[in-house]
Structure 1
Amino acid sequence: MDDLELAEELRVSIGDFVRRVRVHDRMPPGQAAALGHLDRGGPLTIAELARREQVRHQSMTRTVNLLEGLGRVALRADDRDARQLLVAITAAGRAALDEERGQRAAAIARAMHDDLDESEREVLRRLPAIIRKLEP
């Protein structure tokens, strides 16, 4: 298998894996993605969230409004430009996101325990560091 074939096999298998893990999600993907951006990057404008998720501003506004209604984000004026609103994750939003991430991790851990032998689990232990080195 050459590098291009391996790259395609990795792309397909990682995509399939992500879809199988998302079966365990309880939070809608758009909400989880927005909370993830806010958790990693701090407060952002709706426009910046929309850019990062590659969705329309109006779609992200709906997502943010839903999250605000659930108490998972808070809106405040931007200190640099009072015309802009910043969206920040709340403690409740972080707790919901942590629970969602925990569900995913638990599902993966169960599958690793049930479906893989020790030598396969050893390969997986090295895999995160290897994948982090790839920057397409």
Structure 2
Amino acid sequence: MSASEDPVRVAEELRSAMGDFVRHVREHDTMPRSQTAVLGHLDRAGALSIAELARRERVRHQSMTRTVGLLAEQGLVTLGPGEADRRQVVVTVTPEGVRRLDAERRHRAGFIAAALDTLNGEERAVVARIPAVLRKLMGD
């Protein structure tokens, strides 16, 4: 088996390249990653408690409270009491928050599309297959 066929080596190269690519794209984001991540969770899952958002992002409750506060100041989320426990704070994305998230997603996609323009046809064909291959690796 050649070094290029060693599954562990291929896995490490894939992990490294994906990490580098994500960091490169994020360098051009227009809003902080923590805020984009929270808006994304709320957009996909609906209203969530601060505790649940902190769990999903693997940050302390205090850190998530700060992030949610910044989003609320911008009018991108609203805060309200929980239905089952009125002491719990539930966060809901606003229509402006959805618009801002969509704009950030379009900005990222546009940045990636511009980078794709630097590839030749064969390379673009390979890249076009990557999303399906990654989903297969995830078991989807």
Q: What's the TM-score, normalizing by structure 2?
A: 0.92
Q: Distance in 2 between matches of 1:97 and 1:133?
A: 27
Please name the residue that 1:127 is paired with.
130
| Match of residue 9, structure 2, among 5, 9, 13 | 5
Matches of residues 31-50 of structure 1 in structure 2 within 5 Å?
31-50=35-54
Q: Which of structure 1's runs of 4+ aligned residues deviate more than 2 A?
A: none
Matched residue SS, 1:81? coil
What value does the CA root-mean-square deviation take over the aligned residues? 1.1
| Match of residue 26, structure 1, among 27, 30, 35 | 30
| Aligned-residue offset at 1:66 | 0.7
Matched residue SS, 2:102? helix
Matched residue SS, 1:86? strand
> Higher mean Cα deviation, 126-135 or 67-76?
126-135
String of CA shifts for 1:42-62, please: whole Å, max 9, x gaps: 111001111111111001001
Matches of residues 97-116 of structure 1 in structure 2 within 5 Å?
97-113=101-117, 115-116=118-119
Q: What's the TM-score, normalizing by structure 1?
A: 0.95
Q: Distance in 2 between matches of 1:78 and 1:132?
A: 35
Q: Distance in 2 between matches of 1:131 and 1:5?
A: 17
| Aligned-residue offset at 1:23 | 1.4
Point out where structure 1 has 5 or more consecutive residues left out of the alignment: none
Instruction: Give 2:120's aligned amino acid.
Output: D
Please name the residue that 2:21 is paired with.
17
Q: Distance in 1 between matches of 2:89 and 2:67?
A: 15
| Aligned-residue offset at 1:81 | 1.9
Instruction: Give 2:104's aligned amino acid.
Output: E
Q: Distance in 1 between matches of 2:36 and 2:77?
A: 12
| Aligned-residue offset at 1:135 | 2.7
String of CA shifts for 1:84-107, please: whole Å, max 9, x gaps: 121011111111111111111000
